[in-house]
Amino acid sequence: RGLATARVWPRAAVAADGATVGEERAAADSATQRTTVMFRNVPQAYTRQMLLKTIDDEGFAGRYDFVYCPIDFRTHTSLGYAFVNLITPKDAQAFRRHFGGFAKWSIPACGQAGSVGWSLPHQGLEAHVARYRNSPLMHPSVPDAYRPALFAGGRRVAFPAPTKKIHPPRRGTERLLVGATGSQKRRP
């Protein structure tokens, strides 16, 4: 009495996230076309190269065309997640199944098991190329290992040329690149 009671919806009518059946179907239809995943709980000590080796060793060599493993410029370590665009939606679904709960990292005692979800709002190779080709991440002062990478047929390929002038990372960030580039040059 006096307390509001929550209405209990039939399980078939509402998904776990509160979406209605119609919304759930639309999301499922959309998911069947998605190719880009966000791979979470990647060990912070992992480099892009280590992540690529893990992905390849687990049977996904040649099945992706974009990989970006964000790096903290202060610590020069991974932020613990990566974006991977698989070539087909079927490959993306297989990647999600395989790496969800993944714990066979090449670094012992690294912690959490991998978690894989969809990348949003950017989805697909074209969206990621558009997102990063004019990004400060692509500036020459940023080490290659910190940048997004493109692949074709299992081999690394060059990112398309920028469509406008690329500015260096924000003021103050370039000093953080000293340890990564080996350069001691300072900007005026």
Determine, yes or no, domain membership for 1. no
pLDDT digits (tens, 9 = 90+) for 163-178: 999 898 875 554 444 3
Determine, yes or no, domain membership for 132. yes
CATH number, domain with residue 73 = 3.30.70.330
Beta strands at 155-157 and 115-118: parallel, antiparallel or unpaired: unpaired
Q: Using the predicted structure, report yes or no on whether residue 75 has a pLDDT greater than 80.
A: yes
Determine, yes or no, domain membership for 26. no
pTM equals: 0.75
Determine, yes or no, domain membership for 44. yes
Determine, yes or no, domain membership for 120. yes
Quote the number of domains for the chain: 1
Distances (CA, A) of 18 to 73, 115, 119, 176: 38, 22, 20, 43
Domain with 88 in it: 32-179
Determine, yes or no, domain membership for 21. no
Determine, yes or no, domain membership for 4. no
